[in-house]
Amino acid sequence: MINSINEIYCLGIESTADDFGVGISTCSGEILANISDGYIPEKGGIHPREAARHHAMVASDVLDEALIQAGIKSSDLSLIAFSQGPGLGPCLRTGATVARALAAYLNIPLVGVNHSIAHVEIGKLKTNATDPITLYVSGGNTIISAFNSGRYRIFGETLDIALGNCLDVFSREAGLKHKKGIPLGAALEKLALDGNNLVLMPYIVKGMDVSFSGLLTSAVALLRQKKYRLQDLCYSLQEIAFAMVCEVTERALAHTEKKEILLTGGVAANKRLQFMLSLIAKDHGVSFNKVPLEFATDNGAMIAWTGLLAFRSGIVTPIEESIVKLRWRIDRVDIPWMN
């Protein structure tokens, strides 16, 4: 990659949860680098402090690797973007510290990016979608959003835990292990392929919202009964949980009359969920857009790209306003670049 003098390069840092990611994007949306290093807990879920420690340890290597992959020097950068929230406090702070230091050292502007918006924007960049209903499902998020009067509005969301969280906790209860390259969700999906008997569990849909805590409790209780094959339980949990998010996505689609569905987040990797949503899209004559896995899971490229979009609309984040926002909702941010 050869750098031209006029090109703007934005480096984005993602560190909301277990992944530390660095991406580099050009103004036209060319992703020159997208490097990530994930923290894998020895047992249990993400320990925020341990994850932050991991991020601090790998930060410099990931940054170097991204610059090498992009074929540019740090002095070529024009902008630093970072995920300012929502997410886990210690993790967010580690990424923000790296971002502030870089921006100050290179003497270039800083832009704080909302993580959920970044998922939508990179999704639009990497698919044909321009104004979709987005189903964003991951370990920490379950949001059905769409653009309406200046912002991404939340049409539906979880009333308690996230879809990915529900699947992960069940998987751990079932003794599955998170390995490098094989997240818990993938292990669960693999087992579910061998399931064929539907075990009934609570199906909780409230308007365009969903609730997974009762489903999780029930699934874990059934697991402990040892009456059913694990494959059947994995299969049933997926069938029921996915049907719930599909129903509310379809409801939001009918309500907003949008013409595109966008699926993103870590759970977007699940083939069964992809298939279910594609059927809904077909049924309504709208397009189904699945974000490629590299850009659907947490990544630095999405932060870089969204930082650029914001910067081009005149948004910068002065260091003194760059404090992280742990509970920063997607519908709290104006989106000037969509007008």
Partner 1 sequence: MDELVILKLLQKGAEATISLASWYEKKVIIKSRKIKKYRHPQLDERIRRFRTIHEPQLIYEAKKAGVPTPTIFLVDTKNMLIIMEFIQGKQVKHLLTILSTTERSQLCFKIGVLVGKLHFYGVIHGDLTTSNMLLDDYGKLFFIDFGLGEKQNELEVRGVDLHLMKRGFQSTHNKFAKDSFKDIMSGYSNVMGKPFTTNILKKIREIERRGRYVEERKLK
Which residues sit at the interface with partner 1, rule CB under 8 A?
Answer: 86, 140-142, 146, 148-151, 153-155, 157-162, 198, 200, 203, 205-209, 239-240, 243, 246-248, 250-251, 253-256, 275-277, 279-280, 283-284, 325-329, 331-332
Is 283 exposed, middle or buried (CB count within 10 Å of its CB: 0-12, 13-18, 19+)?
A: exposed
- Cβ 230 to partner 1 shortest distance, Å: 18
| 53/284 with CB nearer partner 1 | 284
- Cβ 67 to partner 1 shortest distance, Å: 32
- Cβ 159 to partner 1 shortest distance, Å: 7
- Cβ 249 to partner 1 shortest distance, Å: 8
- Cβ 96 to partner 1 shortest distance, Å: 17
| 36/211 with CB nearer partner 1 | 211
- Cβ 195 to partner 1 shortest distance, Å: 11
| 71/207 with CB nearer partner 1 | 207
| 101/279 with CB nearer partner 1 | 279
**How are beta strands 133-137 and 209-210 bridged, if at all?**
unpaired
| 74/278 with CB nearer partner 1 | 278
- Cβ 207 to partner 1 shortest distance, Å: 4
Return d(Cα 112, Cα 277) in angstroms, integer.
Answer: 32
| 51/261 with CB nearer partner 1 | 261
- Cβ 243 to partner 1 shortest distance, Å: 5
| 36/142 with CB nearer partner 1 | 142
Structure tokens, 306: 């969204």
Q: Is the dihedral of CA 70, 107, 91, 162 positive or negative?
A: negative
| 122/204 with CB nearer partner 1 | 204
